[in-house]
Every structure is written in C-alpha cells, then in structure tokens.
Structure 1
C-alpha cells in the first residue's frame, strides 16, 4: 500500500498555518508623507517566523524627539529572538543615526526602539536590517518630521 505523503504534508502545513495567518495584526495605514515596508523574517533562535510592521511616533517626546515603533508578531516554538536595526537619515539637514531593538517571542509585542531620535524637521529616510533572513532583505521607511 502506497501512501501519498506529499499532498498529506502540504495539507497538514496549510491547516497548521491557517490559524496563524488569521491572528496576524494588520498594519494601520500610514499617514500622508509616510511609507513603511512590512518585514517577514525568521528568528535567529527557536523555530520561529514573524511579521514586523515599523512606524514612527513623535509629538509627545521632549525636545522634538521621535521613536521608531516596531509592532512584531513571532510564531513558533522555543525562545524566539531576532534583532532589527533602523539606520535613519534626515535628507534635509544631514542628521542621522541608528537604533536597535531585540524582538522576542513567540507572541505579539509593540516596542518603541530606544534611544529616541532627534532628526529635526524634514524628510527622514530609514533603512531596516535584521540579524536573520528576512523579506525584503533591506526594508525602508520614510516620514516627514514636523518642526516641534
């Protein structure tokens, strides 16, 4: 008796993934002047995959600061860990820097990557890299920082 294992394995994988996809946190639409890539990644530890939705928060921080926000969901087993680095540059005034945030899981977490940024007013471009495989390999974001 021959058992068709490939179709069975595909069916099991699809059924196992369906609840995970249904619990994904949808990304909110970015305000005018903002654009953010969604990042899909594997974790560097555990057997985990994840979705990361970056954004920026500003307006309530002292001295015109901003925080790179990271909404992340990691699915899997074990101690899931992956690190995201945001390299930012204000193309109007030349200010720049980077912040790094370790994302842990499994589960959903919302991080404000510290320390705050002080880009000053203008167009800010961000490049995101991960310490594990991700799609896109290099993600991007941008926003217009108001004069606070």
Structure 2
C-alpha cells in the first residue's frame, strides 16, 4: 500500500490541539494508521446527499470522532475532530452538516457502509468538493477559533 499524505483543515487543527491525554494519543495513533493504511484506517462512510457519501468517519475514543475526505488515493484531508454528543455547538456531525451546507439526513435512513469501496479504494472526492469543504472549514475556524 502506498502511504497517504495527511492534511488538516485549520478547524481540524484547532480542534485536535484541544485533545489531551488518552484522547490525544488516540488521535495520533489514528494519524499513523491513516498514513499507512488509508481508507482501511477509517470506520465508515457517512450517508446522505452529496458530498456525505464521500466522507469517512473514525471513532477515536469515547465520543470523539474524526471526519476525513480523500482528495486522491494518496491525499486525505482531516476536516473535523470532535465529540459526537448533544451540544450542537460542539457536535462533530452538526459541524459536518454545516460544512457540507446540507440539513441532517433522517436518522432512520442512515447506514454505515465501509469507508473503502468494495474494491478497497478510498472514496475519492473531486478536488473542487474537497476545496469547498476546506474553504468552509477555514471560515468556520475563523468564527470559532479567532
């Protein structure tokens, strides 16, 4: 397997900087795994309207999640890092829907397919989709982490 280059949005970088102790270690172990195994290091793809099916999630530790977009088979963008919980200002999925510019899909219609495609490839997004998500994350970062 070819190694995967990893980039973080400014928002993900600020969110990851908050992690401490075991949560930080879980994130760092994930980054190493992602660099070596690509999409196999992630848990599942998000379901719903585009671009959600091209984004993958990994449960880190406890309620912490990381959301990743693959710009190519060798470049993964960390879009978001954060808890999944009841606080909409912190919930990683609420931030994801905000980044994607969509409403949350119906919970009853969501599934969790493997991140990798049936052929074992990463679910690559068009560069313009990833660029749009990264720009939105940058803008959100400026509002939340001045």
Q: TM-score, normalised by structure 2?
A: 0.25
Q: For the pair shown, which has the larger CA radius of gyration, 1 or 2? A: 1
Q: Choose between structure 1 and 2 for higher RCO, CA contacts under 8 A separated by at least 6 residues.
A: 2
Larger helix proportion, structure 1 or 2? 2
Larger strand proportion, structure 1 or 2? 1
